[in-house]
Structure 1
Amino acid sequence: MPRKHDKIVFKEYNPNQLIMPIDPEAFIPQTHLVRAIDKIVDKIDISTIIEKYKGGGTSSYHPLMLLKVLIYAYIQGIYSSRKIAKALQENITFMWLSKLQTPDFRTINRFRKEIIGDCIEEIFAEVIELLVKLGYVNFEYYYLDGTKIEANANKYTFVWAKSTRTYKRKLREKVKNILDEIERINEEEDRTLGELDVNLEADYDSQELEQKVEELSQKLAEASFGSKRKERRVKKLVKTLQNDCILRLKKYESYEQILSGRNSFSKTDHDATFMRMKDDHMKNGMLKPGYNVQIGTQNRFVIGFSIHQSPTDTVCLKEHLELVEKITGHMPKNVIADSGYGSEENYLHLKKCGINSYIKYNTFDLEQTRKFKKEIVSRVCREIFY
């Protein structure tokens, strides 16, 4: 008769049993990612980070530990300083990485904002130099591509360069009409305001307009009009120039300064440009504030990056390669990219720098189609016979 196992058995569990503290080392596998981060960060030079410390006061948490914690947290998708501080108390991998030290969220936020905020590129360069020494990368082949990252900004508070130029032009027309009307009233009142020079330069700025309005205000205070109605009208026109036109002109000038040649920006993030992002799951394309991030890789390692305000990849290639050379000290020997980077200017720049380019021009794929070849043949035949 087969033996029947019907007895319920549980593993020993006694909440009141005293357990000695155990080193987190025993729970971290040898192949875990956190161990790789620990070894890599130990090998890089952090002298630029240490220079940020002023000294004095109480002891500080070691920058190596904080840097390791930040890198690992970002890889795990944890960006909030409060959540990182919580993980240092609850997550065994974070506890092992910090050796049971528990800096609070203020310390973490201060470290990444004030200490390493200006030396991220130097840290990245140190990691790349380590990869070169270990033989993982050599900048022989450089695979370049870009992606658009949506900014953390209001997508409905946008400013367009074309609209700004239009509003500014209409405002100048309004100012001209107001000054012409003041001049007309002055003529009707036998030059009560004296000799007025209401003409302004074609490209006058808000400062010049402000000076002109100030002169009008002084003459208006000293003038004596024969008609009270016309006096009130002139005062109203001058007040419009002061409280409306000058303020709006200053606003448009500040917009143009922020734009700096771009076609748009977000009012809640002046560095972000409105770009057409990839379609969502409903195939809806939408203009959103964002950045064009250019990334270069080799052997699945990111060895170059740059952030741009231009939505097109074509104009980013030259600036990207210059930044890569400046940060890492290396220039790629061969650049591989898609047709989005294909332009005569880019080809000439790569040739000038001695870089081999494997980049298709924009119409390469179109020229391979049967329809395009058929049109070329038809065009040649028409030119021959006619």
Structure 2
Amino acid sequence: MFKHYTMNQIILPLDLEVKLQENDIAYAVNDLVEQIPDEAFASFLRETGNPAYHPRMMMKVILCAYTQSVFSGRKIEALLKDSVRMMWLAQGYEPSYRTINRFRVHQEVKELLRQCFVQFRCQLVQEKLIEEEAIFIDGTKIEANANKFTFVWRKAVEKYSANLVEKSNQMYDELLEKEIIPEIERENLDELSTEELVQVVKKLDAKVEEYDNQIEASKDVSERKQLRSERKIPKQYRKQFKDYVARKQKYQNDMAIFGERNSYSKSDHDATFMRMKDDYMKNGQLKAGYNVQIATEGQYTLAFDVFSNPTDTRTLIPFLDKIEESFFKLPPYIVADAGYGSEQNYVDVIEHRERIPLITYNMYRKEKKKKYKNNAFYTTNWDYNEETDSYTCPNGKNLVFRYISNRKDKDGFTRTFKVYECEDCSSCPFRSQCTKAKEGYHRKIQYNEKWEQQKEYVRQQLSEEKTGEIYGRRKTDVEPVFGFLKANLHFTRLSVRGKEKVKNELGFAFLAVNLRKYIARSG
């Protein structure tokens, strides 16, 4: 005996919510988006044209699709016809993939995503799933939606630009020497600007036109032949200078795109070529990507931002600014790995934000090892005499204070060093082990008093039981988020181009990770 089954009987439409399980992720998606205040959707209203899909509904279907590892607009459109939870969230509407793609990169969606992160964090606080004691910061590199070998390098552009300046100056001098064109007014005698190159082209045009008129007016065949021969020279110069104008404009445009970076991709100008862990060339080939920074607690992403520079050190300060401006007030402890340890970052966190940085520095682990402490040639192990302000080297020689040195980095931050120099290294038996200075020069050491105080402060903080326990949670808090994003959600490559669009897509991705973890824990 079988259960009754027929394809010819009419079945009344049922509420699709009945088909969903009690703890289905669609409910979490619905609850989160419903918490966004109505005022946040006001910017989507239009007085003319066909009524648009409600942005609240669009947020739900895209976010739900991301929780199912579906990132393609066409596949999201297909889910709306196949998936019960997607049908319920859309309430029967079926927006096309074009509508979906346009919506998720819309500039106003950025504010909706920010509201989702804020509301989700408030929910975690109310349910006491996070303690608001510390945030754990880390970064990862995600491959951009850019072609593999579309790199443009700053050094190459600077090299070709310098060659262009040299050749254009040389050719301009030739024009004046041959009296082909009159001299033009120049602001900089070392380099012809784009406008000045255009002036040269115009004068050459006038010279060629003058020859054309003479040829047309002449009736003598030999004279016309002579004029054509003379016309070749300004025409060749004109062709060359037109090429110079185009190349000059291109190099200027390249430098504007670079900003402070050393490379960019022709497919996605905001993407920078970085060294990735997954290397399809197996030869250390750089790939276009973005540096994604997140702040977590309880393995939930509470804030994120996207940067084009590959190093983490220079991202901490702007990322903390972003958190305070858009997401939440910073907790007492800022936790990060050694990649963020720098004098500038310590000054910002301790003095400007009045927070405690549980951030190690590059030599933190090495300095704790017995091998490092027993090495007599490391300057940190040398004896210091406060009265004479001098250090004593392994050979018993004194390194006395000489002068103060100030260094300014790319960001304009100035570090101050005290420079000490040895009295005499000429007959030292340890010279080859102690210094690489050339013969005739003595060993110098540079001591950054501010930096050493910060390092001591960090060592003291991490040696305490409470703060040491908080820092010990770093790996188990922030690292699993990236693992879940890439391994479980299969989000390893971006599908949009441009930093602002990338931020929107990553916002959906991190919210999807949060919701899946939240449902798994509550279930």
TM-score (norm 1): 0.85
**Which residue identity lines up with residue 288 of structure 1 in the other structure?**
K
Quote the offset at 1:138 in angstroms: 5.7
**Which residue identity lines up with residue 182 of structure 1 in the other structure?**
L
Name the SS of the counterpart of 2:358 in structure 1: strand
Confirm or deny: 8 A CA contact 2:176 2:182 kept in the other structure: no
Q: Which has the higher contact order (CA 8 A, sep 6+)?
A: 2
The gaps in structure 1 that reach 5 residues or longer are 1-9, 187-191
Quote the offset at 1:221 in angstroms: 4.8
1:156 aligns with 2:149: yes
The CA deviation string for residues 88-125 of structure 1, in whole angstroms up to 9 with x for no partner, is 22111212223333333344334334474342334433
Quote the offset at 1:308 in angstroms: 0.2
Quote the offset at 1:382 in angstroms: 1.5
Cα gap change, 1:306 to 1:67, in 2 (>3 Å): same
In the other structure, the counterpart of 1:165 is 158
In the other structure, the counterpart of 1:52 is 44
In the other structure, the counterpart of 2:66 is 74
Confirm or deny: 8 A CA contact 1:128 1:328 kept in the other structure: no
Cα gap change, 1:195 to 1:109, in 2 (>3 Å): closer
In the other structure, the counterpart of 1:211 is 199
What is the correspondence of 1:1-386 to structure 2 with a 5 Å cutoff? 11-12=2-3, 14-16=5-7, 18=9, 19-56=11-48, 58-114=50-106, 116-119=108-111, 120-137=113-130, 139-186=132-179, 193=181, 200-218=188-206, 221-222=209-210, 232-242=232-242, 244-280=243-279, 284-351=283-350, 352-376=352-376, 380=382, 382-384=394-396
The CA deviation string for residues 23-75 of structure 1, in whole angstroms up to 9 with x for no partner, is 33333221222212222222221422233111355554333222211111112
The CA deviation string for residues 307-326 of structure 1, in whole angstroms up to 9 with x for no partner, is 00110000000000001111
Q: Equivalent pairs: percent with the same residue?
A: 35
Cα distance in 2, alignment partners of residues 366 and 164 from structure 1: 40
**Which residue identity lines up with residue 337 of structure 1 in the other structure?**
A
Quote the offset at 1:355 in angstroms: 1.3
Cα distance in 2, alignment partners of residues 135 and 349 from structure 1: 30
Quote the offset at 1:204 in angstroms: 4.1
Which one is further off, 100-109 or 372-381?
A: 372-381
Cα distance in 1, alignment partners of residues 85 and 117 from structure 2: 23
Quote the offset at 1:290 in angstroms: 0.5
Cα distance in 2, alignment partners of residues 135 and 376 from structure 1: 51
Cα gap change, 1:246 to 1:62, in 2 (>3 Å): closer
Quote the offset at 1:167 in angstroms: 0.3
The CA deviation string for residues 271-306 of structure 1, in whole angstroms up to 9 with x for no partner, is 100001114488643200000000000112211111
Which one is further off, 279-288 or 88-97?
A: 279-288
**Which residue identity lines up with residue 361 of structure 1 in the other structure?**
Y
Name the SS of the counterpart of 1:376 in structure 2: coil
Confirm or deny: 8 A CA contact 2:165 2:192 kept in the other structure: no
Name the SS of the counterpart of 2:376 in structure 1: helix
Cα gap change, 1:258 to 1:282, in 2 (>3 Å): closer
Confirm or deny: 8 A CA contact 1:183 1:198 kept in the other structure: no
The gaps in structure 2 that reach 5 residues or longer are 215-222, 383-392, 398-427, 429-523
Cα RMSD of the aligned pairs, angstroms, is 3.0
Cα distance in 2, alignment partners of residues 247 and 110 from structure 1: 34
